[in-house]
Amino acid sequence: MTTHTRTTTHAPETADTRLTARTRLTARTGPAGRARPTATLTGAAAVGVALLLALTGCAGDSGEVGSSAPAAPEPASTAEASAEHNDADVQFAQMMIVHHRGAVEMAELAADRTETPEVLDLAERIAAAQGPEIDTMSSWLEAWDAEVPADDAMAGMDHGDMDHGSMPGMMTDEQMAQLEDAEGAAFDEAFLTMMIEHHQGAITMAQDEIDGGENPDAVALAETIIEDQTAEISEMTALLG
C-alpha cells in the first residue's frame, strides 16, 4: 500500500500580511477587539424613525411642530351679524315691506291689461324681485322680535297715508282704481308713470336706511334697491318715450 502524504505549504507571513489581517479584524470588531454594537445601533435608528413619524403625524393634525403662535380669532357668525340692528333698520324693513307689496300689486295688474311685451316683462321682473325681498325683510323682523306688517296692512286706508308715517311713492286709492280700470296703451302709460314715482319713493327710503341703519344686511339690501330701481326707472322712462 502506498501512503500519500498531503503537504501543505504556508506562505511566509510578512509584515504586510499581518497588517491586512488586522485591518479586516478591526473592521469587524472595532478598536481593541470589542465587537461593534451593530444590533444596538439598528434598534436606536428604528426608535428614531418611529419618533420622527409620530412627530410628523402630530404636525399633520395640529400644524407645525412646536408652534406656539396663537390661533387667529374667528369672524362673527352670520347670525350674530344679522342680530345687529337699530330703530332705523326696523322702520326700513317694516315700511319697505308695505311699499314692496304696493309695487307687486301694481305689477300683477299688467298680466291681463297690457298689450306691450316690454311692459309685461318689466312687471314680471318687478314682482319676481320684490316678492323674495319681502320674505327676507319679514325674517329679519321676526329675528329682531319686531312686528311684521300684516298682509292686509293697506286695507281700509289710503295707500299714500300709511300708519308708518310718510311713505313716499305710494299710490292713492284713486290712482289704484284708475290703474285697475285702464287697458292697453292707457294702462301702459298709467302703469309706467305710477311705477316710476313708486320707485323714486323706494330709493328715498333706501337712502335713509343707508344713512341711518346699522344692520349690514339691511344696508346691503337698501343699496341693491337703489341700484336695481334706478335702472328700472331708466327703462320705464324709455318705454314712455
Length of the chain: 241
What three-state secondary structure class fits 162?
A: strand
Are residues 217 and 82 in contact, defined by beta-carbon separation less than 8 angstroms?
yes
Contacts with 84 (C-beta within 8 Å, 6 or more apart), sequence order: 214, 215, 216
Q: What is the pLDDT of residue 161?
A: 44
Question: Per the structure block, which three cell numbers stand in for 161?
Answer: 297715508
Q: What is the pLDDT of residue 190?
A: 98
Q: What is the pLDDT of residue 194?
A: 98
Question: Per the structure block, which three cell numbers stand in for 42?
Answer: 439598528
Q: What is the pLDDT of residue 151?
A: 86
Distance CA(129)–CA(126), nearest Å, equals 5
Helix axes 173-181, 184-212, angle to 10 degrees: 140
Query: If you classify domain 86-148+161-240 with CATH, what class do you get?
Result: mainly alpha
Q: What is the pLDDT of residue 153?
A: 63
Alpha helices of the chain — where are they, by DSSP H? 15-29, 38-62, 78-83, 87-108, 117-143, 173-181, 184-212, 216-240
Distance CA(208)–CA(230), nearest Å, equals 16
Domain ranges, ordered by start, for the chain:
86-148+161-240
Q: What is the pLDDT of residue 135?
A: 97
Q: How many CB atoms are closer than 10 A to CB 232? A: 17
Q: What is the pLDDT of residue 166?
A: 65
Distance CA(241)–CA(237), nearest Å, equals 7
Residue type, 86: N
pLDDT by residue for the chain (241 residues), tens only, comes to 444 444 444 444 444 444 444 444 344 444 444 444 444 444 544 445 455 454 455 444 444 444 444 454 444 445 554 689 999 999 999 999 999 999 999 999 999 999 999 999 999 999 999 999 999 999 999 999 999 999 876 544 444 444 444 689 999 999 999 999 999 999 999 999 999 999 999 999 999 999 999 999 999 999 999 999 999 999 999 999 8
Asked whether the CA dihedral 174, 180, 186, 189 is positive or negative, the reply is positive
pTM assigned to the model: 0.65
Distance CA(77)–CA(115), nearest Å, equals 49
β-bridge mates for residue 165, sequence order: 162
Q: What is the pLDDT of residue 133?
A: 98
